[in-house]
Copies of this chain bind each other. A is one copy, B any other.
Amino acid sequence: MRYSLLAGGKRVRPILCLASCELVSGDVSSAMPAACAMEMIHTMSLIHDDLPCMDNDDLRRGKPTNHKVFGEETAILAGDALLSLAFEHVAARTGPKVPADRLVRAIAELGSAVGSEGLVAGQIVDIASEGRDIGLGELEYIHVHKTAKLLEASVVCGAIVGGGSQSEVERVRKYARCVGLLFQVVDDILDVTKSTEELGKTAGKDLASDKATYPKLMGIEKAKEFAGELVEKAIEQLGHFDAARVAPLSHLANYIASRHN
């Protein structure tokens, strides 16, 4: 659990969660357990996705994948324990300053991001699509579920824990949907334009496994244009909030668009 959780990474989900809590004027420290839960769930999905029967990947965050070091059975169980710990952590560690009804809403949001209408749905369709021609619609389904839903949950849970109103929560949800899609488009672009050393994970893997990607389906230039549109649309959603509190989330959208690994 520690090996994969503490292997570094960009911590985009925890940052989104804390920034969103701040956006709605919440106490950032009270969103820390939720922020950690996002990273636990993300890490769990990476460990399980890397397994031999899934994407069969040897390298992750610049280090050998979990099952390469500890064996398949331990990797599966580490993922299970991280998933369970994520929920437990939010429930047991958030502290009494946050009303319990907010925690219950955040936990329900978290659950729907992981299960058969979230991460797992995306991974199932992703696996089923390998070696088969798929269209943009199906590609988007995969990314919305594999990537965007957890980014969305990160932002939404931050806003819920921070005490945001229902309409504020829905606004950050829209922001997160754009950023989620953006994240995957950029990932796809990096996979074909960067080296394994630059990425810290195996480059060119999507091409080799004949996976559908945005550059493959719309060409690299159009994919970059699409990324630009998504950044704009994301930042638009933040217009309703206090300008001084918007900076972290607008910078984050720009960072995701311009990242190099």
Contacts and interface: CB of A to CB of B under 8 A. Distances in A.
Nearest to A54: B73
A12 interface: no
A106 to B, nearest CB: 8
Contacts of A119: 80
A76 B54 CA distance: 9
A63 to B, nearest CB: 21
Contacts of A83: 80, 83-84
A164 interface: no
Contact of A81 (B73, B87, B120): B120
Contacts of A103: 100, 104
Interface string A1-20: 10000000000000000000
A252 to B, nearest CB: 26
Interface string A68-89: 0001111011111101110111
Interface string A107-125: 1101110111011100110
A104 B91 contact: yes
A53 interface: yes
Nearest to A87: B87
Interface centre among A71, A120, A123, A124 (most CB of B within 10 A): A120
27 contacts: A48-B76, A53-B73, A53-B76, A74-B124, A74-B127, A76-B76, A77-B123, A77-B124, A78-B120, A80-B80, A80-B83, A80-B114, A80-B119, A84-B114, A85-B111, A85-B115, A87-B110, A87-B111, A88-B107, A88-B112, A91-B105, A91-B111, A92-B108, A92-B111, A92-B112, A104-B104, A107-B107
